[in-house]
Structure 1
Amino acid sequence: MTEAYPQSRRPGIRAAMFVDFDNVYTGLHALDPVAAKRFAEDPKHWADALSAGGAGEQSRRFLIRNCYLNPVVYSKYRTYWTRAGFRVIDCPSLTQRGKSSTDINLVLDAMDALAGPAGIEEFFIASADADFTSLVQRFRAADRMTTVIAAGAVAFAYREMADNVVESHDFVAILHGTTSEPMPAMRSVDTKGGVLPGRTKAVSPAVNEVGEFVRGAPGPVAGAMVAHRALTADPSLKADWGGYGKFGTWVAQLGNGIEYSAAQGGWVWDTKRFSGADLPTDAAVQPGIEEQVARVTDVPALSEAQFRQMFLALEARLRENPVTRSELARLVRDDCVTAGQPVSRNAVNFVIQGFGYVDFQLSDTATAGELAAAWTENVEELCRVALMEFDETEKVELRRWASGGFLSG
């Protein structure tokens, strides 16, 4: 009989998975019914994909796999989860309004795991429910890594508290088997206080994204906009900016003609065309509506022209009835690049996801103007939820920008 490894020698990051089945399934079903079915009927597939962070110490070992579901509605999926090694906890509705007991059961189990003897290093919460923000704060305060798997809009505070967020479109790609690489492994935290060495990381795709964005800009660019582009290209930077701790330090070391100054809130520029003397004066620093919205809501910080080209490309590609949303996003991204208005695939996915939140159906009859109007409605709702207030002039500016100029007021 093979002797068990002592805890310090067992390979892999010790992790725990807590799945709010009702929240994830309904969110996925609104975005992609096929992906929702795969989530519900083949949990082993995507759980294994999340486990495969790499070889040896950098792979994940899910010591706890819990799924919380309403047995009245979703009992037919129970067998799939138990066969995949999940512990299924029934959370029936306890109120006349249909509110289940998932939240309290999940939180109690998660806190037990945090205080337990296993030394869990990374906690996964599969839910877009911002009620779990306080739970993620507890994990973070205990110096544990946290990953949120979201199938729906994620509150800004919830997103920022987590070390990593598996966005809806990324999760859909995992479910469809179209993601080419496993989810990056997080740092491994020794529960005695140290940080275990991690694998050497490849060059972040954010480096090229930031370089192209800054070198194509008509002047110095506000740091908030550059940071948003970087995180869109590589969400894993959110944890600690590639080991540099903060955005300013990360962007300052890029080199290749990229310069950064922390003055006036932070600015980035192309040294071949500009210098620190080209930075706006304090009186001139008035963030545009796109910067304000992108900073607070995670809406892609694209220009009006980029949004317009995206809606035109979407209209054209929808006529061809693409097979999957992932394929649609890739084609639209390529079309925008060809048209001279480059946008990232993540930005296209974010917009496509937004249509689902306002119940707009992506059909082959949708026009660019209709797409623009639906997306703008989603942006306005995101701003409302974030408690952003605008005067009448700013509301007009917001609609014109988000719609790519299709809406003027």
Structure 2
Amino acid sequence: MIVPPSQVRRPGIRAAMFVDFDNVYSGLQAVDPAAARVFAEDPNLWTSALADGGGRDAARRFLIRNCYLNPVIYSKYRVYWTRAGFRVIDCPSLTQRGKSSTDINLVLDAMDVLAGPVGIDEFVIASADADFTSLIARFRAADRITTVIAAGPVAFAYREMADHVVESTDFAAILTGSSADAGAGVLARAEGRAPAPAPRKGAAAKEVSSLVRSSSGPITGSVAAHRALTAEPSLKTDWGGHGKFGAWIAQLGNGIEYSPTPTPGWVWDARRFSAADLPQEAEARSAVEEHVTRVTDVPALSRLQFRQVFLSLEAVLREHPPNRNELTRSVRDHCVAAGHAVSRAAVNFIIQGLTYTDALSDEATAESLAAAWTRNVEELCRLALLEFDESEVAELRRWAGGGLVKTPAKQRPKAETPEPPAED
């Protein structure tokens, strides 16, 4: 019997990709200009890396590849995308403020695909624009896998709505080939409505082990847990049946050690480090710190760790301003040498926030960097709808600024001068 073509299912995950070129390119320019150039001029390289799932059934088949760009600014890149098999949609600026029509065009096309006859298993949105949060919600409601590729800060709600988020550092690693895995395992695979395929099993263990092995010192448990949950979001429920993060990481073996003390807990490679290499007991975490780190993506560092990051940044920038990848590594190593271990992921997050505030320069001081970062944290709190009273704001500034930000004293009300008695 001949099976009608409409009933034949080819192996692989049927995927659709929608690229907000302006958003991703500008975001990568701030993170890694070399990665931005590869993104713009060789789209086939990184889409092939993302499509490869390590097996025929786990690989993605991008049935739809759409790229939305402003032709007035980025027309020179059009040929690279058309040659890579993308459908390029011109989205010129329609307002005096430079706002393009990318958002509406992308949303309309994505909704047409969702309602179309071909059942797309996974929608990939390459944009850090939180305006697409509602679109991601529609995909989830239709039981589709959703993946966000973000080259810049990602709103908390947008991140949580998506099934998978490819961070700017991971994406830059794919583009520049600086990652040993270069795309393999960066995006978690799932085959439509079926259970997760075998290649995803153990992804979290692999990511955490790789992170610990490559670290120049012990890393905080929160950093390791975040990396694990990014690789396998399902662990959030009960850590694979182990109940707690500590129990899950203890079963990894291969020299990976964990200790819940000193606060906030540490993970290290026992073949290179020991408990003696752990930092001194960290400061007790306040309610403000717990609230901010839980609701936003601000790293769960202590006040002394934040302070050391700013001091190390000043020193590294003064010596020889390196590129973005070298900067995060140099600052991380400088912090470890100073006795305050800070993960490279945390350093990168801080540098990313400082980049968007234009605070990085060879003339920057630890104080100016701390002030700029604190303003960034306050803005993240505002976007997350966190509300603090005056004393809590002062506490947040002391913590996020590492004690380097001077909080202006509350102005005292001027004494009222009694009016002279009216003359008769």
Is the TM value for this pair above 0.5?
A: yes
* Maintained 8 Å contact 1:21/1:69: yes
Cα distance per residue 1:65-93 (max 9 Å; x no partner)? 10011222221111011011111011223
- Provide closer, same or farther for how the CA distance between residues 311 and 208 of structure 1 changes in structure 2, counting only shifts above 3 A: same
Shift of 1:197: 2.4
1:152-301 alignment, distance < 5 Å = 152-181=152-181, 182-184=183-185, 185-190=187-192, 193-195=193-195, 197-199=197-199, 200-202=201-203, 203-206=205-208, 228-234=222-228, 236-237=230-231, 239-241=233-235, 244=238, 249=243, 251=245, 253-254=247-248, 256=250, 288-301=287-300
The 1-side partners of 2:368 and 2:285 are apart by 31
**Residue of structure 1 equivalent to 2:402:** 404
Point out the more displaced range, 175-184 or 64-73: 175-184
CA contact (8 A) 1:144 1:189 kept: no
Please name the residue that 2:325 is paired with. 326
Residue deviations 1:108-158 (CA, integer Å, cap 9, x gap): 221222233432222111111111101111111222221111122211111
What value does the CA root-mean-square deviation take over the aligned residues? 3.4
CA, structure 1 residues 196+405, in 2 after alignment: closer, same or farther (shift >3 Å)?
Answer: closer
Please say which of residues 172-181 and 292-301 is displaced more in the overlay.
172-181
Distance (Å, rounded) in 1 between the aligned partners of 2:385 and 2:245: 30
Unaligned runs of 5+ in 1: 211-215, 218-224, 261-266, 271-284
Amino acid at match of 1:359: D
Residues 255, 302 of structure 1: CA spacing in aligned structure 2 closer, same or farther, 3 A cutoff? closer
Are the equivalent residues in 2 in contact too, given 1:27–1:152 (CA < 8 A)? Answer: yes
Q: Which TM-score applies when normalising by structure 2?
A: 0.77
- Could you say what secondary structure the match of 1:58 adopts? coil
CA distance in 2, matches of 1:197, 1:19: 26
Query: For structure 2, which runs of at least 5 residues remain unmatched after alignment?
Result: 213-217, 251-256, 267-283, 408-424
Letter in 2 for 1:108: L
Distance of 1:247 and 1:132 partners within structure 2: 34
Q: 2:393 is matched with which residue?
A: 395
**Pairs within 5 Å for 1:7-86:** 10-86=10-86
State the alpha-carbon separation in 1 of the partners of residues 8 and 346 from structure 2: 41
C-alpha deviation, 1:288, in angstroms: 2.2
Helix, strand or coil at the partner of 2:300: coil
SS at match of 1:254: helix
Moved over 4 A (4+): 4-9, 204-210, 242-248, 257-260, 267-270
What SS does structure 2 have at the residue aligned with 1:316? helix
1:252-301 deviation per Cα after TM superposition (whole angstroms, max 9, x unaligned): 742749799xxxxxx9989xxxxxxxxxxxxxx99522211111221001
Shift in Å, 1:165: 1.3
Aligned match for 2:383, one of 382, 385, 407? 385
- Give me the whole-angstrom Cα distance separating, in 1, the residues matched to 2:59 and 2:312: 39
Normalization by structure 1: what TM-score? 0.80
Identity %: 61
1:325 to 1:83, Cα distance in 2 relative to 1, 3 A: same
- Checking the alignment, whether the CA contact within 8 Å between 1:19 and 1:126 is kept in structure 2 is yes
* SS of equivalent residue, structure 2 residue 57: helix
Measured after TM superposition, the shift of residue 307 of structure 1 is: 1.0
Count how many residue pairs are aligned between Structure 1 and Structure 2: 372
- Return the alpha-carbon distance in structure 1 between the equivalents of residues 233 and 19 of structure 2: 22
> Which residue identity lines up with residue 202 of structure 2 in the other structure?
K
Distance 1:397 1:79, change over 3 A: same
Match of 1:341 in 2: 340
Relative to structure 1, is the Cα distance of residues 246 and 94 closer, same or farther in structure 2, using a 3 angstrom cutoff?
farther
